[in-house]
């Protein structure tokens, strides 16, 4: 059978009149190419039918195979079709109903009148029962227990197999009978679309579009707890995922049923399998979160100097992820941040297998001393399992990675054996299960492989692949805009005017953002002009902006002025050397990190403040730098009050610091391999004293 490119799962409804316009009407789950999309809500049956007809036609025209699965019975117990239409033909019964059932845009319909007509075709009382009140429709009994003598079975064979409800019940949940009366006329019309067939009544193996019956009760155990969102919506999404995740040959076997009149529930009798697949559905991608609030960076009044740790704690507390999510192939997800946990769809290894090349047998037949076992013909290799059972007392040639054949639980290493091709000899004792790997010993199906917020690395891609995860929900990359300000700035090499400073921060900050896995957006350079700055910020396609320069609250400080006027600004005087002024602002929902202009200070502030803040906003959680304690290979006397970061690198005697502490020396940044962090208090450091070294590599730079 050809696989289905698109799976639609329809949660049908028999809702009447105004109730039909309420939330709990019709939901359609959609999976295209194995990936579940957001389910669609249909306000009325007519809207749903129009959408389905349109989608079937479009997909068929595009050469995409479609399965549309519906959650109501396609048939009735044996004999019903003949009693109504004179033929043993369920499809004729669909047409009979299509000719009689009326349904309008508000959901008003005549199903009780039609059910009355149907009951009159049968002797006794019933088979249909259940109605809104005890007086109307005298041919329909109010209670099921008063039915008698109508001659129809209570359930179809598949309803019994799946423990599904009776098709005769019209009122009081579950209203399966009403759903079918209101649904079958639609099927009668949909199956007339060119290329569309009804399973299992028509040949379906090669049809471009197949209408099937499913029952959400089969995945009840995979459903989130009651009260956790709209259940029908969950159900159709999980079912669409489960059907799409089913290997095509397994689906073909599930569809291979013999039920020419009553029809069948797809997957009846395979409840566990569908539940497992449904439970493996990735969590739905969250919508893009709302923007951060304007007072996000506000500081308590009266604060003069903010210690570094307080500033970090405040950022950590106020910021949160701002990016939405998307589904992508796991193989393409290196460096991306998981928006939802990744769950194993299959155990690894999926079955017990051999860890070595050797000979496999049942351990219980071996003992101490020399052993000699006759060999079966054939062998077990990776990807080419041994088909039969290895008889007790015999051995089989087995290669690394081969599934253990039935009858084998232990493998002896080839190097420890002798063989003449018909018998294998080795020395006992052999440990039970020696040289084998157990199913799921690495990962069990359903295990959480990686938590939301994990940034994927190459070994993570191997884990996802080994556990069968083909698609992951990841955060969209955080767009980090980088802007330089200042009249004095010029492009590197563009002028020899000594009054001009080459823009060193922008290439550095853009590269930092990129190394941290964000989408770096170059917003260029703006002169000290309020309107130019406003235009640049307004046009920025970014989730957060790093500016440098203009943060010192001087006359030319347009960044701070603009934020103060049109948004919110907190100018932080952080007890930090180098890099005192740090402006944190919000403008039109856009956070702006105003970094110092001085490149050394700009770099330190970017590493210490911007890196963890950007990581949090990107959905990856707060990022702590990697720190190690190493002996100092320098001498230093430090006054209390400010935390200090020295440009440093490891040498044979310990960590060395750059000769000059002058923060204008960009060469020291490039010379260094990391920073030495000196705590806020006073310090007197002598060579050999332990100090905290933060390597560049621990900030993601290597």
SS (H, E, C) 69-101: EECCCCCCCCCHHHHHHCCCCHHHHHHHHHHHC
- Residue 371 contacts which entry, ligand AMP, Mg ion, none (Cβ below 5-8 A, type-dependent): none
Residue from 599, 619, 620, 674 touching ligand AMP (CB under 6 A): that is: 599
Stretch that binds ligand AMP, among 134-142, 151-159, 431-439, 549-557 (CB under 6 A): 549-557
547 binds ligand AMP per the rule CB under 6 A: no
Task: Count the helix, strand and coil residues of the chain and give each as a percent rounded to the nearest 5.
Answer: 30, 25, 45
Q: Are the beta carbons of 463 and 450 closer than 8 angstroms?
A: yes
Binding mask 502-531 for ligand AMP (x = CB under 6 A): -xxxx-------------------------
The C-alpha atoms of residue 566 and residue 78 are separated, in whole angstroms, by 74
Residue from 182, 211, 489, 691 touching ligand AMP (CB under 6 A): that is: 489
CB of 204 to Mg ion, least distance (A): 23
- Interacting positions 268-297 with ligand AMP (CB under 6 A): none
Residue from 92, 501, 567, 622 touching ligand AMP (CB under 6 A): that is: 501
The C-alpha atoms of residue 432 and residue 367 are separated, in whole angstroms, by 11
36 binds ligand AMP per the rule CB under 6 A: no
Stretch that binds ligand AMP, among 270-278, 393-401, 538-546, 550-558 (CB under 6 A): 550-558
Q: Are the beta carbons of 594 and 601 closer than 8 angstroms?
A: no
Q: Are the beta carbons of 384 and 337 closer than 8 angstroms?
A: no
Q: Beta-carbon neighbour count of residue 327 at 10 Å?
A: 17
Strands 196-198 and 209-213: parallel
Residue nearest to Mg ion (CB): 11
Read off φ and ψ for residue 521, nearest 5 degrees: -120, 115
- Residue 484 contacts which entry, Mg ion, ligand AMP, none (Cβ below 5-8 A, type-dependent): ligand AMP
Q: Are the beta carbons of 345 and 245 closer than 8 angstroms?
A: yes
Strands 66-70 and 209-213: parallel
- Interacting positions 12-71 with Mg ion (CB under 5 A): 12
Residue from 473, 484, 547, 657 touching ligand AMP (CB under 6 A): that is: 484
The C-alpha atoms of residue 554 and residue 616 are separated, in whole angstroms, by 31
Residue from 200, 517, 585, 597 touching ligand AMP (CB under 6 A): that is: 597
Residue nearest to ligand AMP (CB): 597
CB of 137 to Mg ion, least distance (A): 23
Q: Are the beta carbons of 637 and 646 closer than 8 angstroms?
A: no
Nearer to ligand AMP, 7 or 583 (CB): 583
Nearer to ligand AMP, 147 or 647 (CB): 647
End-to-end CA distance of the chain: 51
CB of 329 to ligand AMP, least distance (A): 39
- Residue closest to 154 by CA, chosen among 131, 172, 176, 132: 176
Question: For residue 507, what are the contacts with CB-CB under 8 A and spacing of at least 6?
Answer: none
- Residue closest to 557 by CA, chosen among 549, 546, 545: 549
CB of 169 to Mg ion, least distance (A): 13
DSSP string, 137-167: -TTS-SSGGG-BS----SS-HHHHHHTPPPT
Name the token pair of 441: 């010993």
- Residue the block writes with tokens 């938590």: 451
Nearer to Mg ion, 72 or 699 (CB): 72
Nearer to ligand AMP, 57 or 500 (CB): 500
Nearer to Mg ion, 12 or 593 (CB): 12
Stretch that binds Mg ion, among 7-15, 61-69, 203-211, 572-580 (CB under 5 A): 7-15
- Interacting positions 99-158 with ligand AMP (CB under 6 A): none
Residue from 7, 8, 11, 525 touching Mg ion (CB under 5 A): that is: 11
Read off φ and ψ for residue 278, nearest 5 degrees: -65, -40
Stretch that binds ligand AMP, among 238-246, 538-546, 596-604, 645-653 (CB under 6 A): 596-604
Counting Cα atoms < 13 Å in the Cβ hemisphere of 269 gives: 12
- Residue 5 contacts which entry, Mg ion, ligand AMP, none (Cβ below 5-8 A, type-dependent): none
Degrees (nearest 5) of the Cα angle 428, 434, 438? 155
Nearer to Mg ion, 182 or 520 (CB): 182
Stretch that binds Mg ion, among 10-18, 122-130, 181-189, 303-311 (CB under 5 A): 10-18
**Partner residues linked to 41 by β-bridges:** 27
Stretch that binds Mg ion, among 5-13, 406-414, 599-607, 631-639 (CB under 5 A): 5-13
The C-alpha atoms of residue 666 and residue 170 are separated, in whole angstroms, by 81
Name the token pair of 193: 């679309």
Nearer to Mg ion, 175 or 280 (CB): 175
The C-alpha atoms of residue 354 and residue 384 are separated, in whole angstroms, by 13
Stretch that binds Mg ion, among 8-16, 120-128, 201-209, 637-645 (CB under 5 A): 8-16
Degrees (nearest 5) of the Cα angle 580, 632, 310? 30
Contacts with ligand AMP: how many residues (CB under 6 A)? 18
Residue from 126, 208, 486, 668 touching ligand AMP (CB under 6 A): that is: 486
Q: DSSP label at 502?
A: E
- Residue 11 contacts which entry, ligand AMP, Mg ion, none (Cβ below 5-8 A, type-dependent): Mg ion
- Residue 587 contacts which entry, ligand AMP, Mg ion, none (Cβ below 5-8 A, type-dependent): none
229-238 per-residue burial string, b: 16 or more CB within 10 A, e: under 16: eebbbbbbbb
CB of 615 to ligand AMP, least distance (A): 23
- Residue 28 contacts which entry, Mg ion, ligand AMP, none (Cβ below 5-8 A, type-dependent): none
Nearer to ligand AMP, 404 or 600 (CB): 600
Question: For residue 533, what are the contacts with CB-CB under 8 A and spacing of at least 6?
Answer: 485, 526, 558, 559, 562
Residue from 596, 612, 619, 620 touching ligand AMP (CB under 6 A): that is: 596
Nearer to ligand AMP, 641 or 664 (CB): 664
Binding site for Mg ion (CB under 5 A): 11-12
Residues of this chain that interact with ligand AMP (CB under 6 A) are 484, 486, 488-489, 501, 503-506, 548-552, 596-599
């Amino acid at each position: 059978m050809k696989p289905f490119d698109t799976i639609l799962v329809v949660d049908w409804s028999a809702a009447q009149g105004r109730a039909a316009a309420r939330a709990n009407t019709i939901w359609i789950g959609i999976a295209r190419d194995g990936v579940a999309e957001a389910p669609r809500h249909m306000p009325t049956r007519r809207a749903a039918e129009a959408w389905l007809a349109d989608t079937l036609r479009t997909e068929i025209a595009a050469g995409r195979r479609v399965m549309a699965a519906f959650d109501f019975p396609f048939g009735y117990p044996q004999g019903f079709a003949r009693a109504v239409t004179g033929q043993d033909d369920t499809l004729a019964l669909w047409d009979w109903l299509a000719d009689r059932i009326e349904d309008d845009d508000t959901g008003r319909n005549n199903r009780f009148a039609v059910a009355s007509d149907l009951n009159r075709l049968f002797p006794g009382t019933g088979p249909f029962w259940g109605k809104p009140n005890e007086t109307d429709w005298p041919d329909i009994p109010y209670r099921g227990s008063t039915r008698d003598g109508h001659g129809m079975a209570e359930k179809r064979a598949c309803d019994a197999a799946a423990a599904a409800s009776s098709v005769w019940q019209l009122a009081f949940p579950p209203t399966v009978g009403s759903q079918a009366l209101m649904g079958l006329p639609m099927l009668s019309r949909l199956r007339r679309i060119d290329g569309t067939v009804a399973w299992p009544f028509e040949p379906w193996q090669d049809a471009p579009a197949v209408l099937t019956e499913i029952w959400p009760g089969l995945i009840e155990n995979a459903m989130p707890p009651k009260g956790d969102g709209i259940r029908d919506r969950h159900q159709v999404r999980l079912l669409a995922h489960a059907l799409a995740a089913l290997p095509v040959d397994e689906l073909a076997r599930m569809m291979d049923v013999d039920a020419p009149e009553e029809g069948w529930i797809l997957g009846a009798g395979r409840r566990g399998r569908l539940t497992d697949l449904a439970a493996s559905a990735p969590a739905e991608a969250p919508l893009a979160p709302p923007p951060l609030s304007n007072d996000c960076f506000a500081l308590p009044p009266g604060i003069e100097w903010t210690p570094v740790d307080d500033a970090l704690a405040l950022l950590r507390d106020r910021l949160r992820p701002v990016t939405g999510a998307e589904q992508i192939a796991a193989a393409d997800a290196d460096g991306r941040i998981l928006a939802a946990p990744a769950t194993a769809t299959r155990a690894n290894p999926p079955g017990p297998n051999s860890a070595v090349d050797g000979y496999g047998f049942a351990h219980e037949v071996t003992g101490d001393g020399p052993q000699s076992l006759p060999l079966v013909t054939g062998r077990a290799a990776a990807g080419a399992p041994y088909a039969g059972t290895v008889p007790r007392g015999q051995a089989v040639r087995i290669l690394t990675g081969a599934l253990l054949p039935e009858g084998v639980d232990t493998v002896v290493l080839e190097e420890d054996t002798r063989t003449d091709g018909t018998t294998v000899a080795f020395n006992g004792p052999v440990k039970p299960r020696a040289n084998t790997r157990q199913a799921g010993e690495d990962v069990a199906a359903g295990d959480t492989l990686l938590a939301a917020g994990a940034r994927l690395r190459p070994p993570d891609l191997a884990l996802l692949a080994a556990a069968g995860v083909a698609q992951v929900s990841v955060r969209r990359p955080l767009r980090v805009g980088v802007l330089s300000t200042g009249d004095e700035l010029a492009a590197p090499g563009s002028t020899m005017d000594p009054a001009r400073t080459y823009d060193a921060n922008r290439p550095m900050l853009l590269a930092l953002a990129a190394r941290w896995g964000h989408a770096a957006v170059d917003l260029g350079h703006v002169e000290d002009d309020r309107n130019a700055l406003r235009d640049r910020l307004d046009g920025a396609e970014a989730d957060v902006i790093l500016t440098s320069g203009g943060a010192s609250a001087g006359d030319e400080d347009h960044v701070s002025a603009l934020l103060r006027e049109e948004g919110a600004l907190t100018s932080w005087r952080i007890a930090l050397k180098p890099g005192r002024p740090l402006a944190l602002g919000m403008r039109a929902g856009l956070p702006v990190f105003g970094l110092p202009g001085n490149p050394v200070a700009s770099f330190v502030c970017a590493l210490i403040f911007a890196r963890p803040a950007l990581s949090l906003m990107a959905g990856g959680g707060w990022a702590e730098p990697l720190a190690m304690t190493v002996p100092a290979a320098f001498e230093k006397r430090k006054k209390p009050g400010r935390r200090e970061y020295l440009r440093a690198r490891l040498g044979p005697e310990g960590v060395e610091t750059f000769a000059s502490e002058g923060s204008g020396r960009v060469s020291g940044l490039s010379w260094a391999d990391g920073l030495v962090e000196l705590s806020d208090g006073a310090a007197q450091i002598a060579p050999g004293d332990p100090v905290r070294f933060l390597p560049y590599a621990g900030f993601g730079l290597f």
